Amino acid sequence: MRREGMEPNEFVFPSILKVCGQLSDRRAGENVHALVLKLSVEDDLFVNSALIDMYSKCGHVEKARAVFDMMVEKDLVTFNAMVSGYAQNGFAKEAIGLVEKMKFWGLKPDVVTWNSLINGFSQKGDPLAVRDLLKSMSSAGIEPDVVSWTSIISGLVQSFKNEDAFKTFKEMMACRVYPNSATISSLLPACATSANVRLGKEMHGYAVVLGVENDIFVKSALLDMYAKCGLITEAKLLFSDMSEKNTVSWNSMIFGLASHGYCDEAIETFAQMEKEDSKRVDHLTFTAALTACSHGGMIELGQSLFHKMQEAYKIAPRLEHYACMVDLLGRAGKLSEAYDFIKAMPVEPDLFVWGALLGACRNHGNLELAEIAAQHLSRLEPGNAGNNMLLSELYANASNNWNARLRMKRRKLMKFLGSSWIAG
């Protein structure tokens, strides 16, 4: 960061601190803070706001507040940073108290401050706290805007509170606040099930009416929704109509095709992505492609892609990639190879890896490896009765098969004895 004869200044520090916050690297952030003090730039408003934001993102709200309290001068940006920090870490009472304190500094909370609060608590998946904030916002004479409502909807969807998200959308419309492209994009993931596809089509209609249907984020979210719902024709139409494709649209199309049995087309789309847009290929792209190989029984191709991901794209395998490979081998009945693959993994296998092996053992009737997989699963997920049920089913099938073989042997023996008696 430092060269001889050169020192970072108040213009450089905010950028460095932003990176520390994004990486949640508290130690690096503290080192930068020490340099800020050494170079006597701790009175700069932008540097202090960046310090508050960094400590908040690292989960050290008390240090963020210490920086805030030491500031002789505070502005709206500083207050927003501290309010946002409290909200991100779930300190509702402190956040609201700070908003109320702003008036003593001659500052009026503009809608941005409230939206920082709402966004923080929405991401925490706390709809009750968010609703209290909306009431407080209205009491302060500030009406929630489309950003406020969209933040709530986005947070609820990310917390898998889909029903609350739809209710909030209806409330927003009732308040005559109309959605924008961000609102539509935020709500569409909640429609990505067959049960909610009707709502997804309604959102598509809103997008057309609002004139945002060609927004790349809206179009990608629509494509993802249709693909996950199994409406592959609709997804392919959107995909082919996109003048620009991003990583989400490519990955959604490959995943959608792979998940619904169009494995060859999924691999073709992956090849097209490599040819036209290889810079957007990421770890999720390979997860989608490996899923297609697994479902389509393409063992050699799957193994080739697993190596290509590491060698050509320098992407280190994640647990989901290992799970795909175990599933690939397991579906093909190569259970011993799958188990050897797990034992050779450089990371600890998770429940998805062992679950893939257990599922394959059930399909191919391998009781010995099923017991090993079940033991690991019961250690990783002791409260899940489903794994024990799978193993019990295997035991039952093995027992039935054994009894059937005994009955067949008994019938053969009786037939032989009967024949011998007659012949005698």
Q: Would you write out the chain's pLDDT as a tens digit for each of its 424 residues?
A: 444 445 677 788 999 999 999 899 999 999 999 999 998 888 888 999 999 999 999 999 999 999 999 998 888 888 888 988 888 887 877 887 888 788 788 887 778 778 877 877 776 666 677 777 777 777 777 888 898 889 888 888 888 888 888 988 999 999 899 999 999 999 999 998 767 889 999 999 999 999 999 999 999 999 999 999 989 999 999 999 998 899 999 999 999 999 999 999 999 999 999 999 999 999 999 999 999 999 999 999 999 999 999 999 999 999 999 999 999 999 999 999 999 999 999 999 999 999 999 889 888 888 889 888 888 888 887 766 666 666 666 666 655 554 444 444 444 434 433 343 334 4
Whether residue 273 is found in the same domain as residue 224? yes
pLDDT of 404 reads: 41
**Secondary structure (3-state) at 138:** helix
- Single-letter amino acid code for the residue at 418: G
Whether residue 224 is found in the same domain as residue 300? yes
Closest CA to 107 of 85, 71, 74, 83: 74
Total number of domains constituting the chain: 2
pLDDT of 402 reads: 43
Per-residue HEC secondary structure of 182-195 comes to HHHHHHHHHHCCHH
pLDDT of 415 reads: 42
Whether residue 196 is found in the same domain as residue 299? yes
pLDDT of 421 reads: 36
Cβ partners under 8 Å of residue 338, min gap 6: 325, 326, 329, 330, 356, 357, 360
With b meaning 16 or more CB within 10 Å and e meaning fewer, what string describes 31-44?
A: ebbebbeeeebbeb
Does residue 139 lie within any of the structural domains? no
Residues of the domain holding 375: 341-424
Does residue 199 lie within any of the structural domains? yes
Which of residues 266, 281, 316 is at a domain's end? 316
Whether residue 293 is found in the same domain as residue 384? no
pLDDT of 116 reads: 76
Does residue 238 lie within any of the structural domains? yes
Does residue 45 lie within any of the structural domains? no
pLDDT of 73 reads: 86
pLDDT tens for residues 63-76? 999 999 999 888 88
Whether residue 268 is found in the same domain as residue 375? no
Whether residue 203 is found in the same domain as residue 240? yes
Which of residues 248, 281, 316 is at a domain's end? 316
Does residue 25 lie within any of the structural domains? no
- Single-letter amino acid code for the residue at 34: A
Contact 386, 399 (CB under 8 A): no
Whether residue 307 is found in the same domain as residue 350? no
Does residue 166 lie within any of the structural domains? no
pLDDT of 395 reads: 62
Helix (H) or strand (E) holding 255: helix 247-259
E strands, 142-240, are none
pLDDT of 405 reads: 44
The Cα–Cα gap between 402 and 407 comes to: 9
Whether residue 310 is found in the same domain as residue 375? no
Whether residue 304 is found in the same domain as residue 420? no
E strands, 219-316, are none
Does residue 294 lie within any of the structural domains? yes
pLDDT of 424 reads: 41
Whether residue 284 is found in the same domain as residue 346? no
Whether residue 308 is found in the same domain as residue 204? yes
pLDDT of 223 reads: 95
| pTM for the whole structure | 0.72
Does residue 312 lie within any of the structural domains? yes
**Secondary structure (3-state) at 373:** helix
Whether residue 309 is found in the same domain as residue 369? no
